[in-house]
Structure formats: C-alpha cells, structure tokens
Structure 1
Amino acid sequence: MLDPQAQALMTLLSEKGIPPVYTQTPAEARSSYRARRTFTQPDAPEVGRVQDLSFKHSGVDIAVRVYHPAGATQAMPALVYLHGGGWTIGDLDTHDVLCRSLCQQAHGVVVAVDYRMGPEHKFPAAYDDAVAAWQWVASQAAALGIDPARIAIGGDSAGGNLAAAACLGLRDLGLKPVLQLLIYPSTLMAPETASYQTNGQGYMLTRESMAWYSGNYLRGPQDAQDWRASPQLATSHAHLPPAFVLTAGFDPLRDEGLMYADALTQAGVSSQYICFERQIHGFITMGRVLQEANTAVALCAHALRTAWA
C-alpha cells in the first residue's frame, strides 16, 4: 500500500497541474525543481560551518559545498555527496537540507559536488567529476579537516548511480571509499525490471521522464552498455566498498537497487539493503510532508557513523 502521505502529495501536485519533466526544457525543469523544494523539504538544520569552494579538473572548475558539523575537530570523517536529478536537474541548493541533515546527524563533514550535467555536458562528464571529486577531497583532507582514511561516497538516484560507478573506477585506481551510500540508485540505463514495468507510471518518476533524463545524459544507446553509466554491468563487483542501499517500494528503480545490493553481496562485498515499501522515488528529501523520509535520513546517518567508527 502506498503511504497515504505520499498519495496526498501526488494528488496535490496533480491538482496544481505541475507539468511532467519531459515536457519541459532542461532550464525550465531545473527552475521548477529548485522552486518546489521549499514545499516538501524540512527546515534547514544548523551545522557548524559551510564553505563554498571549487576545484579544477580537466580544465573545468567544479563547485563544492563543504558542511562541517558543530564541534568539528581536525581529522573528521567525510562523505562526498552527489545529488540526484537525472544527470540533468538538481544542484547544491536542492540537496542543501539533506546534506546538512547528514552532516549534523552523522557528525561528519559532507562535501556536496556540483558535477557537470546533460545535455550541455554528456556522459562521461558527470562520472569523471564524481571520481575526481573523491580524489580531490582525499588530497585536500588536511586543509578540509578530514581524516583521509574515512571518506565515504554517496548519492540519491542519478547521484547514487554516479557514486556506485565512481567506486568501480576508484577501485581500478587502487582507491577505496569506506562506504558507498546508495539511495534509490539507477544502476541500469536500459532497465526491463519488474519494478520498471509496474511503477513506471503514476508514481512521480515515470518511464517517459527516465527516457528524457537518460537522453539528456547519454551520447547514444551504446553508452547504456558502459559500466560507468550502468554499474550493474561491470565485469566484477569484487573489492568494492561496503554498501548501504536504500530503495522505495513504488519506485521504478527499486529492483535496480536490489539487484546491485545482491551483486555486491555475491562478489563478497558487505552490503545492507533496506526498502521503504510504501514510498515513492525521491522521498528522502521530502521530510516536511513525508514522515518516513526523516526515518530514512536517520538510517543513512547511522550507516555513515558505523562505517566511520
């Protein structure tokens, strides 16, 4: 059964005539997403300090926002966070409340990454930025007050996809985050899963929207077969960081998250999987209107504290 709070939210959005994302230009979709966040997101919690910084990678400046918890000392653990939004929408502001919440509740530094997005920057730009961001945080650990041995990576939806893929790329470079926090991640670019079929209409994220997002990100159909876009297709999932995978029952991406958790477990990687059976895609940022969103954030913070211990 769908959470009554989630049903009420979807009914309200329908009554307000919010246009589907795939009927908008990327600029319109970005503006709409940014404007809607204040309705569903909780008040921004206080943290110790916030810094807006940037780093240069392949001749490009990548903006990051660094959240330090209150009472931070030197050598704090850290999370490199990649926002969701279909590799097309979303930014440092749309996920500011979530990053603040994780910083406060997990008591660690959170580094949010404003990676390049489609359609202006096609695959693998976002993937490259995700890998570079983790390496930059590790290289700047002393300046940022971070313990280089306790840096996790995570993200929601498209950000979960980027975090999972980045772990594969970092592994091949001999690097290993302490945790991959994957919140309803996309792990297959051309899914034909049961949840894709049953949940692809009527629950916020639709098949048409997913096609629009992937079309903005990928250069062509061949990119869907690349493990950097579809981490489920990697030749091996061995020797990856432990994973905490969280999904939603009424999400078309639900089965992709479960399949990825299973692939990690089968490869000998410690993996925890939790499904919020009554929830919809995108719910974790909606704590003002969805009570279970706040529970999900608390679970993610607990997973981080455990990995950092």
Structure 2
Amino acid sequence: MAAVIVVHGGAWAIPEELSKASVDGVKAAAREGFSVLKRGGNALDAVESAVRAMEDNNMFNAGHGAALNSEGEVELDAIIMDGRTLASGAVSSVKNIANPVSLARAVMEKTDHVMLTSRGANMFAESIGVVTVPTDALVTEYERNEWEKHKNYITGVMEDFNTKWAHDTVGAVAVDCTGNVACATSTGGIRNKMVGRVGDSPVIGAGGYADNFSGAVSCTGHGESILKVTLARHILSYMEQGKTAAEASELALQHMGVRVRGAGGAIVVSPSGQWAATFTTERMAWAAVEDSVLWYGLDPNEKLQEQLSQ
C-alpha cells in the first residue's frame, strides 16, 4: 500500500506576513517525513522526523519559536503515539529542550510511563543525555517583542487565541507501507499562559491519537476546548462508524464549536491511506504527501499541489 504523511503548523489567524514562511515550513516538514517513508521507514519515525523539522523552524510555536508564558519562560509539551501497539509517550512543561517530540518518544520507549512533566521530565532528559539549550536559543525576537507588548494585556484565553498574536501547535500523522499509523504533536502553548498550564497537545486522545484499527489524528487550536471534547479520539470514533476522514474531522470540529465554542483544526490519516486536513479557524498551514504528490494549503477550501522530484 502507498505511504502517506500529513503535517500541520497550527490552526490560528495566521497573518499575511507569516503566511509564506508557514506554508514553506509545513511543505519542508512533509517532504522530510515522506523521505523517511520512502526509504522504508515506519510511520513513527516519519512523524517524529516531520515534527522535529518544525520544532527546528522558528516560524512555528514548538521547540525553537515557542511562546512565552506569563513569566517570560518557555514551557513545552509534546506527544507521540504508535498505532500498532497504542504505545505512547508525552512530556509537558519541559524547559530548555529543542526537540520535545524526541523526548516524548524516549518516555515511550525507555520508561514504564506515558507522560512525564516539568522537573521530572527534565531530570529524565538529563539522565539519558539529552542536550539542553538556553531559553534564549528557543525564543525569537518576534516572540519576545510580542510578549513584551502584550504581557500586561488582560483578556480571556479564547479572545487571546483568536487574535493574530496567538500562534499554535505543530503535528504530523502518517501511515507506512505496512499499514501502521502514528501521530505526533508538539507545542509551546499559548502566549501569556499561566505557569504550568498544559493544553491538549501532550494529552492522549485530545492532542493526538493513533490506532491501527481506525487511524491517526493530530489536533491544533484552543487547547482547553480540545481537551473538553477529547477531539482526537472523537474524530476516530466517527471513523469507526464509517465516516470518511474529512467527514469525521468536520463533525467533531463542529461539535467542539457548538458545545464549547472552541475553534481548531485536525489532520487525519486512515490505515488505508485516506487523509484530511480540516479547520474552523481563519487559517491552518498544512501539507500532505501521497504518491509523490505534495498537497498543501493555508486558507479554507484551498488545496494546492506540486509534483515531488523522483
């Protein structure tokens, strides 16, 4: 069967000045993940590789480019999940780690736990030799300036999220040539979040889920809303009822909008290779590769394509 990878760079009101770099970033990440699949790599390796590419790209809010909390600190969250075994690893509120998705995978493979948080996650990282980086290396001048501008701005989280100065999560889903699916999600959270705030991204069933019996999902958007409706698992439950990836995503996102007034997006892939990239925010940067065709978009109903060189 054909391998497929889909990535997103966050669902939010992406301003025009950031739009090209956002699209270029997700296209590069999709190519990176697909190159793993093309070499015969598995879905888990592919999603980790794609998300690492976005964590290393300071255009996105994960790893490099992360948002600052109310104290001007970086706290990172990530999850990775293997649809073959339901093995999962996650970290939350970690500091000074450039690639939290890889630390999440280490939690999955080297511990008996699913999630490690804050100091414990950093202690684990140190114990396995993960190199730390200074906070300043993860924060862009743009983010620092925006944080300074808005640090005394008092408003609700939902209003924060829907303004142009809030930006969001990255993620990837993939199915490999053997039919195994995987997901990964990584974020720096919402700017000016409370210290210790954890959103949906590292939470199994909310920010991501992968199961070979139904598919893989990575979510993005307003984390508190996604948590309340367990969005990733909600999407897969519709797929288990026979809905397509696109139908399932649309129904679950509509439900979140009606039930808790939350906006967001999701990327989905089924074990058969059917995929979708759906969102209810103004924009979401996404890209997908199947059969050496790169699909990508940013605005609603936009689905562009280009041929990958062989």
TM-score, reference length from structure 1: 0.32
Higher RCO (CA-CA < 8 Å; seq separation 6+): 2
Say which structure is richer in strand: 2
Say which structure is richer in helix: 1
